[in-house]
Amino acid sequence: MRVPLGPEFHDECERFAFRFCCEDCAYFLRDERCAHDWPNAEHRRAAYAAEVARREIVFCKEFELR
Ligand code: SF4
Say if 65 falls within a structural domain: no
For residue 9, report the distance from its CA to the centre of ligand 1, in Å: 21
pLDDT digits (tens, 9 = 90+) for 29-40: 999 999 999 999
Regarding pTM above 0.75, the answer is yes
In a domain, 31, yes or no: yes
Residue 26 lies in a domain: yes
Q: Does the residue 63 lie in any domain? A: no
pLDDT in tens, 1-42: 888 888 888 888 889 999 999 999 999 999 999 999 999 998
Nearest-Å Rg of the Cα atoms of the chain is 12
Q: For residue 42, what are the domain limits?
A: 2-58
Measured in angstroms, how far is the CA atom of residue 47 from the centroid of ligand 1?
A: 14
Pocket of ligand 1 (CB under 6 A): 22, 25, 27-28, 34, 36, 38, 40, 43, 60, 62-63
Q: Per the structure, how many domains does the chain have?
A: 1
Contact 45, 51 (CB under 8 A): no
Phi, psi of 27 (to 5 degrees): -95, 5
Which ligand 1 atom sits closest to the C-alpha of 43? 8
Assigned domain for 64 exists: no
21 within a domain of the structure (yes/no): yes
